Structure 1
């Protein structure tokens, strides 16, 4: 399974410059059957402090589901990036890096 290259920019990376999104589309790797069937084990978020960043325009996972996941994990800080796609780390690297730095500096 993979995202059709022609649909990838709009579906997966709508807020990324088109040339970069097309490059991402051709570089994607299909998901393996093992990845879909492998047991995940105990969720790390139950024992590890969590931080969460997501885009409100994610077309792969609804923003409401992402917000629920952050709340369920008792995220110490959640950053909701207005208009960001599924690849918020590519389209809004400064916001993502800032959250990573805050998490690294936190006294757990």
Structure 2
């Protein structure tokens, strides 16, 4: 019984530690192409071809202060966790920084 209790405690501890791990962050920049309610869509810089035409590099995310931004502005965003692959791609954004024109 004592071995079983120790094993159960170890398994529970491992479960808790794995659930609390910090998700990776990444950054990207781009130009705002659409703002609808609290959702901002950008064309990421890596979503443009050599000739400048649009490829499937759009990224969409919710931001509470979306009204503070305008279509056409350049921004840099910090993304937490993975980018969900759809069109447009969806991400959880932690921070937005306006870039100089």
With the shorter chain as reference, the TM-score category is under 0.3
Query: How does the TM-score come out when normalised to structure 1?
Result: 0.20
Q: Which has the larger radius of gyration?
A: 2
Query: How does the TM-score come out when normalised to structure 2?
Result: 0.21
